[in-house]
Structure 1
Amino acid sequence: MNYTLHQLQIFLKITQLKSITKASEALFLSQPAVSIQLKKFQEQFSIPLTEVVGRQLYVTDFGWEIAEAAEKILNEVQAINYKTLSFKGQIAGRLKISVVSTGKYVMPYFLADFINKNKGVDLVMDVTNKSSVVRSLEKNEVDFALVSVIPDQLNLDRVQLMENKLFLVGGTKDKFINKVAKKKIFESYPMLYREEGSATRKAMENFMASHNISTRKTMELTSNEALKQAVVAGLGYSIMPLIGIKNELKNDDLQIIPYKGLPIVTNWNLVWQKSKKLSPTALAYLEFLKSEKDRIMKEDFDWYKAY
């Protein structure tokens, strides 16, 4: 057999995404180039690795076995590269972080200087819902996770980063103030929620329950961006994290509506399992974060204080 590391990388990405088109996009290659490499890789095996049924690509049982072996080989190659850099006195390795969806407006700022300074560090950041973030911690699949509500069921260490403020917001197309008293807004307008399991949704539900607030109509959207655009368009109102609406406030697409008991204030925390043996790369990042987080907050989030 004479397959290459490049072919292993391409085949592994195809099995992960179950699509040649998506694999080509993820690897920044043309679709024909990926198809050709898959064909050359398949020619070295007498058993099919994939099959196409209708227009859908499926990985065979044998293909999954090869994909698992390919991942191990590529990880070992990466480890050799990291060790080479480490012997040169450089920080090198993979840093894996799982981030709740709203955290995508926070985490990159606390990573940029560290990643740019340490060229040997490869970042894997998964932006997903809270349930998936907690699961990745439970299964020890990541070094760290960024959450605004710390899961009670896990024994975690943490570094507190910055406040997470949630306000009642609405679009600027509908100037509700002229139509209804503020205390009646929840009863008079549709309320937009995030999906079940979202920390933002939980905070909104807890606030409304504690204030005995009932709503006329509710709608559910499965991402912060979708919810934000729905509010801008005038579909309804919502309680949203300030961190994700900076530009919309600046452009006068959204307005913060003062309401008793708001904002809800929690904190963004970088967390990890207390029992986890952190890699040298993860430990180096923790040291960076502890020494630099105040500077980063001052430089990148000074606007936050105005609200």
Structure 2
Amino acid sequence: MRNATLKQLRAVAAVVETGSVTGAARKLNVTPPAVTMQVQQLEEHLGLPLLDRAGDRFQPSAAGREVLAAIARIEQAMADCGAALDAMKGLKSGRVSVGLVSTAKYFVPAALGSFTRAHPGIDVVLTVGNREEIIAGLRGDNIDVAIMGRTPLDMEVDKTLIGDHPHVIIAPADHPLLGRRLPPSALATSTFMSREPGSGTRGLMERFFEENGIAPRIGMEIGSNETIKQAVMAGLGLAFISGHTIAAEVADGRLAALDVEGLPVVRQWFVVKRTAKRLTPPAAALTEFLSRRGPEFLPSTPYVHVEATA
């Protein structure tokens, strides 16, 4: 391995990650022949095959798995070195990669805008996905910090509190269940628009209904909060959703939150990092900023709509 180059190692890792030479070339911004050459040169140097073909995808051989483990250690060592060098430069420049679950996009961009105005030399890169995708980004060190609610259980992480995150059940503004206090059982026959399995909101909804002995009727699984809100406004059903996503629609009278016993379910927003990851000064500064000022950017939403009675 002494004469192996970083280009060769990254070519092997990219082929395994994407499953193909073409995908690796796109990831590395080189041509497919260049990827093939780097892999072949490393295999010739080591005297062992590193990749096996399984159908239309490549997977690592036994030797390839050893090389991938070495690549991961090398990449982590380089990241740690970069963090140490950034620490010497302070906060005048640098880069921080932030992952956020899709629900957090309703307040995080405003917070990041304030942060970057205070630190104009720092570049912030955003990745938005569902909970599983953001956890994978943390695990692979593709993101420095994540903004999420339910933190991963299968990975050691450090979390810093931002603030409360309430969840409610929304309905069209003219829904007949509005204006009165409802037991959860009153929703047993309702149809729900739901986030996809794997999302934090879906998991929280399922736990709420399970605790109340209800099996919700899922009309549609939708991977976008915006589309869910449009479906509810169109009268296709109700939805269990983050209260931070509906501020504009409630204020405009297009949606309302049902007054259900046990709601809102309040969780918290956290800034999350892998415990073993050493943050760069920009990432550490962003974490501190979100902990200190993050609550300022959380939407203020009227969670329950109660009509006046005579």
| 1:170 is aligned to 2:171 | yes
Q: Which residue of 2 aligns with 1:72?
A: none
Q: TM-score, structure 1 length as denominator?
A: 0.67
Following superposition, the deviation at residue 203 of structure 1 comes to 0.4
Aligned residue in 2 for 1:62: 34
Q: 1: CA distance between counterparts of 2:36 and 2:249?
A: 45
More helix by share: 1
Amino acid aligned to 1:147 = M
Paired AA for residue 15 in structure 1: R
Distance 1:181 1:145, change over 3 A: closer
CA distance in 1, matches of 2:188, 2:116: 47
Which residue is equivalent to 1:297?
A: 295
Could you list the per-position Cα deviations for residues 133-163 of structure 1 after superposition, in whole angstroms to 9, with x for gaps in the alignment? 1111111221100111011111111110011
Unaligned runs of 5+ in 2: 1-22, 39-81, 305-310
Give the match's secondary structure for 1:168.
Answer: strand
- The yes-or-no answer on 1:246 pairing with 2:247 is yes
Contact in 2 for aligned 1:188/1:216 (Cα 8 Å): yes
Unaligned runs of 5+ in 1: 1-11, 19-41, 43-48, 50-59, 67-79
Q: CA deviation at 1:165?
A: 0.3
Structure 1: how far apart are the matches of 2:194 and 2:104? 17
CA distance in 2, matches of 1:95, 1:159: 17
Indicate the SS of the match to 1:170.
strand
Give the 3-state SS of the residue equivalent to 2:276 in structure 1. Answer: coil
Q: Distance in 1 between matches of 2:37 and 2:138?
A: 26
Q: Which residue identity lines up with residue 114 of structure 1 in the other structure?
A: F
Relative to structure 1, the CA distance from residue 65 to residue 125 in structure 2 (aligned partners, 3 Å threshold; closer, same or farther) is farther
Match in the other structure for 1:37 = none
Question: 1:190 touches 1:218 (CA, 8 Å); kept in 2?
Answer: yes
Residue of structure 2 in register with 1:145 after alignment: 146
Is 2:250 the partner of 1:278? no
Change (3 A) 1:217 1:90: closer
Distance 2:96 2:212 in 1: 42
Amino acid at match of 1:133: I
Aligned to 2:262: 261
Q: How does 1:37-76 map to 2 (within 5 A)?
A: 49=31, 60-62=32-34
Q: 1:73-126 CA distances to partner (integer Å, 9 max, x unpaired)?
A: xxxxxxx9xx89x86x75211110110010111222332222112221111110
Distance 2:302 2:256 in 1: 17
Count residues with an aligned counterpart: 236
Describe the superposition over 1:227-249 as per-residue Cα deviations: whole angstroms up to 9, x where unpaired: 11111111100111010100000
Q: Is the 8 A contact 2:162 2:271 kept in 1?
A: yes
User: 1:15 maps to what in 2?
Assistant: 26
Q: What is the match of residue 97 of structure 2? A: 96
CA contact (8 A) 2:135 2:152 kept: yes
Q: Equivalent residue of 1:303, what SS?
A: coil
Aligned Cα root-mean-square deviation (Å): 3.3
Q: Secondary structure at the match of 1:176?
A: coil
C-alpha separation between the residues in 1 aligned to 2:145 and 2:168?
27
Contact 1:100 1:147 in 2 (8 A): yes
Corresponding position of 1:203: 204
Residues 263, 17 of structure 1: alpha-carbon distance in 2 compared, 3 angstrom cutoff = farther
Aligned residue in 1 for 2:48: none
Aligned mates of 1:164, 1:190 — CA distance in 2? 24
Q: Cα gap change, 1:252/1:210 in structure 2, threshold over 3 Å: closer, same or farther?
A: same
Work out the CA distance in 1 between the residues paired with 2:168 and 2:131: 20
Check whether the contact 2:196–2:221 (CA below 8 A) recurs between aligned residues.
yes
- Specify the alignment match of 1:233 in structure 2: 234
